[in-house]
């Protein structure tokens, strides 16, 4: 479980020389992001001035992290790679397969029973390959990473989009698909397009009801869900220095919601305090020796407009609490404007549930600030109007807040304390009455609020806000309640008002835990046998995807033309489907069932061109596959936004989809498609999206000449015999084209190439 101080020291030992050389070569001061990127160049990569947003660069991350839902497929792929042990420190965390329903004890017991086969597989495969295993109930992956493994100036990749949470400790932590993780675990370089840089200058200081959460909610409102695509967001300024490390983690965590590659902060005293409090004074001592390399050069922060591609300034002293939603995390509403916005948009005013937790807001500080509102409600004699639930971020957090009386205070108000796991944040919530699909409002401190995400009900209006605001809104029972200005009537008919929240950044008595839930791997796992039953419904050994035949794809059919927002939740839903994350064929039955068909505006209802009959998307695609007919998927803007789940790429690949043609991609999903040997293409002219008709037959005219920087031409033959030629762009380099030719990147690894 312990952090690897020797590995960290090695990172710091090589950092000064590498950064100094890069600064000299680039000829200007460097941002923090650039320092970490240049310090982690793969051995043998020449130091040069890389062009932001254009040059693909090979990096050497320090560690890999996987959560249980994505780890299944990642480790199944790693088994196929033929390696004896993970080449870098790697951990697997069981946090996704635990459903919230009754409460922690019973819910965890149910999960351990229902998912025993998966947990046993993960326990044995990690034991065999030298990978640390965090058991069910130990906590949420990103909170555990922050508590145990993240360190300033490091680089980590993780098979979850919110890996970026570790930026709260000055790390470059990046969400990827399982195939990327397999590369690094196999001892290979990890490839990334050199990011653009967005600077966020924070002035002033948070006060009153405003929390770190409001910073990222405001940034999301400014940049939208795709405004950070291809960029690292670097926060700095006096406002950044005044925040806690876990508050910084919250801000970095939700950088995934703006599409950012990652987000980070410079090394400072808040990080020193947190590292020391979590038993890592050795890291502080090592980091202090290279402290100037763990933040940007002074000139960068003095004149940021010269060094960032985009600059945003936020005065924390003037920032007010935000409530973002519904249905998208970038629709921001200041609390002072919620009354008029809710009325104008006919949002349900009554709050049914308030939920605190998830990887975004489950720290000690979050819990202590939220409970300060709960305690006030009890003292003021207010009976909460909404139901209330919390998910502690880790067993260490849960144990500590129980010791300090915080859990007891929550429970006095009737709060349901769920397992130390993701729960409702990822759709793992058996919410009573959700099947009725009634229009309602919930508020939560999670990161995402897409339609159906929390409870499966498309009519649940989910709003994202800070833990303290969740507490206030849930207690008041009203979405339009402004705790800064409004009063409530208590159980005695008296008019009462909340005071601003308060809480400790770190526990005064220190953190404590009896059993954190960690299983160390065997020193030598060569004799350990990993068994996957051929009749299992939960796990399935992988078969290699077939290589490209070297010919143009012809006679292809359109599977679906997706309309509007199409996230990875739409392409491969979570919730009850999580149980099939280790069984590619079974989970493929959820492929694109949430995508809206542009021709009839229905979900999971597309035309089978072989029969002329409409059917469910996976069934229609299986019919095409059985008949040997290739297909393509067409999509809108920011296709594949959201979670890093590579199932959204593997399912179409498994069922025979050859290409995805869209207006634009979210970064992780585009990479995942490439890794699985698919064609990820974008319209050279976005208006061509409108030319594609339901009955089209598609021919690739020049795929045989597939090359970097060269467009591809697709012929769309309409039912009446007329044709449209559509030019498609792509971002494949030579190596990525080899992935396509081989059938997948994994096929090349397995072949020793």
Q: Give the catalytic positions in this structure.
A: 95-96, 160, 448, 643, 645
Residue 140: both structure tokens together: 């949420």
- CA–CA separation, 522 and 499 (whole Å): 52
Residue reference for tokens 């350990």: 528
The 10 Å Cβ neighbour count of residue 262 is 29
Would you say 336 and 481 are in contact if contact means Cβ atoms under 8 Å apart? no
Residue 351: φ, ψ to 5°: -90, 125
CA distances from 75 to 37, 94, 566, 598 (A): 27, 14, 27, 36
- Asked whether the CA dihedral 408, 410, 415, 416 is positive or negative, the reply is negative
CA distances from 27 to 21, 24, 637 (A): 10, 5, 37
- CA–CA separation, 348 and 365 (whole Å): 30
The 10 Å Cβ neighbour count of residue 489 is 10
Would you say 642 and 450 are in contact if contact means Cβ atoms under 8 Å apart? yes
Would you say 668 and 648 are in contact if contact means Cβ atoms under 8 Å apart? no
- CA–CA separation, 568 and 249 (whole Å): 23
3-state DSSP helix/strand/coil % of the chain, to nearest 5: 35, 20, 40
- The separation between CA 217 and the C-alpha centre of its own chain, rounded to angstroms, equals 16
Burial 225-236 (b: 16+ CB within 10 A, else e): bbbbbbbbbbbb
Question: Does residue 412 sit in helix, strand or coil?
Answer: helix
- CA–CA separation, 278 and 165 (whole Å): 16
- Asked whether the CA dihedral 666, 669, 675, 680 is positive or negative, the reply is negative
Would you say 339 and 69 are in contact if contact means Cβ atoms under 8 Å apart? no
Question: 727 - beta bridge partners?
Answer: 713
Question: Does residue 521 sit in helix, strand or coil?
Answer: coil
**Distant-in-sequence, close-in-space partners of 211: CB < 8 Å, separation ≥ 6:** 247, 250, 321, 369, 466, 467, 468, 469, 501
Would you say 264 and 154 are in contact if contact means Cβ atoms under 8 Å apart? no
Nearest in space to 330 (alpha carbons), one of 409, 417, 218 = 218
**Omega prior to 717 cis, within 30 of 0:** no
The 10 Å Cβ neighbour count of residue 753 is 8
Question: Does residue 423 sit in helix, strand or coil?
Answer: helix
**Omega prior to 644 cis, within 30 of 0:** no
């Amino acid at each position: 479980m312990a952090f690897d101080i020797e590995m960290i020291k090695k990172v710091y030992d090589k950092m000064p020389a590498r950064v100094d050389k890069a600064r000299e070569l680039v000829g200007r001061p460097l941002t923090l992001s650039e320092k970490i990127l240049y310090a982690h160049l793969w051995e043998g990569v020449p130091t040069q001035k890389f062009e932001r947003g254009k040059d693909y660069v090979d990096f050497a991350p320090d560690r890999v992290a996987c959560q249980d839902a994505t780890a299944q497929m990642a480790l199944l792929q790693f088994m196929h790679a033929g390696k004896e042990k993970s080449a870098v420190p790697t951990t697997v965390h069981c946090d996704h397969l635990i459903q919230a329903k009754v409460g922690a004890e019973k819910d965890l017991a149910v999960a351990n029973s229902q998912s025993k086969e998966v947990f046993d597989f993960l326990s044995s495969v990690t034991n065999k390959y030298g990978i640390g295993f965090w058991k069910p109930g130990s906590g949420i992956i990103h909170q555990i990473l922050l508590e145990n493994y993240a360190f300033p100036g490091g680089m980590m990749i993780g098979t979850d989009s919110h890996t970026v949470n570790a930026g709260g400790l000055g790390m470059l932590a990046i969400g990827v698909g399982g195939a990327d993780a397999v590369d690094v675990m196999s001892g290979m370089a990890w490839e990334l397009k050199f990011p653009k840089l967005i600077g966020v200058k924070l002035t002033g200081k948070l006060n009153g009801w405003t929390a770190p959460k409001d910073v990222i909610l405001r940034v999301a409102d400014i940049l939208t869900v795709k405004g950070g695509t291809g960029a690292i967001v670097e926060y700095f300024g006096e406002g950044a220095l005044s925040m806690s490390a876990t508050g910084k983690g919250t801000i970095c965590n939700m950088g995934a919601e703006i599409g950012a590659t990652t987000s980070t902060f410079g090394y400072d005293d808040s990080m020193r305090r947190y590292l020391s409090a979590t038993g890592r004074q050795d890291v502080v001592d090592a980091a202090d020796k290279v402290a100037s390399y763990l933040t940007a050069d002074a000139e960068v922060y003095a004149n940021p407009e010269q060094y960032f591609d985009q600059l945003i300034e936020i005065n924390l002293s003037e920032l007010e609490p935000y409530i973002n939603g519904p249905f998208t995390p970038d629709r921001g509403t200041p609390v002072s404007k919620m009354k008029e916005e809710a009325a104008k948009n006919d949002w349900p005013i009554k709050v049914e549930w308030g939920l605190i937790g998830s990887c975004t807001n489950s720290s000690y500080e979050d819990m202590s600030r939220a409970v300060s509102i709960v305690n006030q409600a009890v003292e003021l004699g207010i009976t909460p109007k909404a139901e209330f639930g919390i998910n502690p971020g880790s067993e260490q957090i849960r144990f500590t807040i129980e010791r300090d009386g915080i859990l007891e205070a929550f429970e006095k108000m009737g709060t349901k304390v769920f397992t130390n796991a993701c729960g409702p944040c990822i759709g793992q919530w058996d919410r009573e009455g959700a099947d009725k699909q009634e229009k309602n409002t919930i508020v939560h401190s999670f990161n995402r609020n897409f339609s159906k995400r929390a409870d499966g009900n498309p009519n649940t209006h989910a709003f994202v806000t800070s833990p303290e605001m969740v507490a206030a809104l849930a207690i008041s029972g009203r979405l339009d309640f402004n705790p800064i200005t409004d009063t409530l009537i208590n159980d005695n008919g008296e008019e009462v008002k909340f005071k601003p929240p308060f809480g400790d950044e770190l526990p005064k008595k220190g953190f404590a835990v009896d059993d954190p839930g960690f299983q160390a791997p065997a020193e030598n796992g060569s004799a350990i046998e990993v068994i996957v039953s051929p009749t299992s419904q939960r796990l399935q050994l992988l078969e290699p995807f077939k290589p490209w035949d070297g010919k143009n794809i012809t006679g292809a059919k359109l599977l679906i033309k997706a309309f509007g927002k199409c996230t990875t939740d739409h392409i491969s839903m979570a919730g009850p489907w999580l149980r099939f994350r280790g069984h590619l064929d079974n989970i493929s039955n959820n492929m694109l069932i949430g995508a809206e068909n542009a021709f009839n505006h229905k979900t999971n209802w597309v035309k089978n061109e072989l029969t002329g009959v409409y059917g469910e998307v996976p069934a229609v695609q299986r019919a095409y596959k059985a008949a040997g007919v290739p297909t393509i998927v067409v999509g809108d803007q920011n296709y594949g936004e959201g979670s890093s789940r590579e199932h959204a790429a593997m399912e179409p690949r498994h069922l025979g989809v050859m290409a995805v043609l869209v207006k634009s991609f979210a970064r992780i999903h585009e990479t995942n498609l490439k890794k699985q040997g698919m064609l990820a293409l974008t319209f050279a002219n976005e208006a061509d999206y409108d030319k594609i008709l339901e009955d089209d037959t598609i021919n690739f005219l020049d795929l045989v000449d597939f090359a970097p920087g060269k467009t591809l031409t697709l012929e769309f033959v309409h039912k009446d015999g007329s044709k449209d030629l559509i030019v498609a762009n792509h971002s494949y380099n030579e190596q990525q084209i080899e992935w396509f030719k081989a059938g997948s990147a994994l096929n090349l690894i397995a072949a020793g190439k």
